[in-house]
Amino acid sequence: MEDKTQIDMEMQVASFDYWDARILFYLSKIFSGQLKKGEPYENLKKCIHVSILDFVHFEEDQECFRTICFCDEKTGKKYTDLMEIKILELKKIPGQVKNEEDIINWMRFLGGKTRKEFADMAKTDEYIEEAYRELEKMSSDERTKLEYEARQRAIRDYNSQMSSALKRGMKKGIEKGLEQGIRQGIQQGIQQGIQQGVQQGIQQGAESKLREIVERMLRQGKTAEEIAGILGESPETITRIAETLSISDRRDYES
C-alpha cells in the first residue's frame, strides 16, 4: 500500500485446527522481516493479516467480519496498531441486501470461485475493479515468490493437519481400547467366576462325600490309619475330618 502497510491475505476452505497459531506465525514473520541488519525499529510499518474463511471459525456469534489487535486486557485500550488481524467468515455473509457495506462487497469478491465471478464483482465498485486489475498484472517474479511461499505453507499445513489427525486418532484409539478392555474384562471376569464356582462346587461336593464316608467308617470301628489306607488319603486328612466330627478313632465308641 502507499503508506507501506504490509498485508498478508489468505483464503482457507477447510476448517483448520491451529488456524490462530498459523496466522500469528505468518503475521509475525512478515512484521519481523521488514528490518534488515542494523535498521532502527522506527522503520517498522503496520502489518495486517486478512483471513478469508469458507467455514465458521467463531461459533458463538453471527458476526461475519471482525478486527483483532493488541489491547490492554483491563482497560480495552489499544496498545499498538502495528499489527492487526482481520477475519472474514464467508459462511456468515447475509443474503443480498440493498446498500451493502463495503466489507460485504469485498468479501463477495474475495469469495469468488471463477474468473467470471471476479470480473462481475469488479464492475460493482471502482476499488474492487482496481484490485482486480492489479491481480491480473501480478509479475512473474511475484508469482514465483508466492508459489514458493505457498509450497512452504502447504508443507507446514500438511504436517500440522497430520499431527492433529494423529492426536485425534490416538485419543479415539485409547478410548476405544479402554471400552473394549472394560467389556472384555467384565466378560472374562464372569467366565472366570463361573469356572471358579463350578470348581469350588465340585471340590466342596467331594469333600462332603469324603466326610460322609469317613464318618461312616469311623462309626464302624475303623481307625484313621485303616481308613486312610482304604481310601488312599493321608492319615492327617482322615484325622482332621474325624476331629471335626469329634471322632478321633473307634476307641471313642468302645468307651
Per-residue pLDDT tens over the stretch 142-196: 555 566 566 666 666 666 666 666 677 677 767 776 777 677 767 776 677 666 7
122 vs 117: CA distance, rounded Å: 9
Residue scoring higher pLDDT (232 or 86): 86
Percent of the chain with pLDDT over 70: 67
Contacts of 91 (CB under 8 A, 6+ apart): 53, 54, 55, 56
Does 58 fall in a domain?
yes
Residues 146, 134, single domain; the answer is no
Q: How far is residue 84 CA from its own chain's centroid?
A: 30
Residue 206, in any domain of the structure:
yes
Q: Could you tell me if 73 and 16 lie in one domain? A: yes
Q: Are residues 153 and 132 part of one domain?
A: no
My answer on whether 215 and 115 are in the same domain is no
Pick from 8, 9, 27: nearest CA to 69 = 27
37 within domain boundaries = yes
Beta strands (DSSP E) in the chain are 6-12, 47-53, 65-71, 78-89
Is 161 in the same domain as 247?
no
Domain count, the chain: 3
Residues 164 and 228 in one domain: no
Q: Are residues 104 and 149 in the same domain?
A: no
Other Cβ atoms within 10 Å of 52 Cβ, number: 18
Same domain, 16 and 121: yes
**Which tens digits make up the pLDDT trace of 241-250?**
888 776 544 4
Residue 125 domain flag: yes
Is 35 among the domain residues?
yes
130 and 79 in a single domain? The answer is: yes
Residues 229 and 113 in one domain: no
88 falls within a domain: yes
> Based on the number of CB atoms within 10 Å of its own CB, is 74 exposed (0-12), middle (13-18) or buried (19 or more)?
exposed
Per the structure, the complete domain to which residue 146 belongs is given by 140-168
The cell numbers describing 37, all together, are 541488519
The reply to whether 218 falls in a domain is yes
Contact of 13 with 55, CB cutoff 8 Å: yes
Range in 11-25, 35-49, 115-129 the model is least confident about: 115-129
State the average pLDDT for the chain. 75
Same domain, 32 and 83: yes
Residues 131 and 150 in one domain: no
Taking alpha carbons only, the member of 48, 43, 51, 58 closest to residue 6 is 48
pLDDT higher than 50, residue 98: no
Asked if residue 184 is part of any domain, the answer here is no
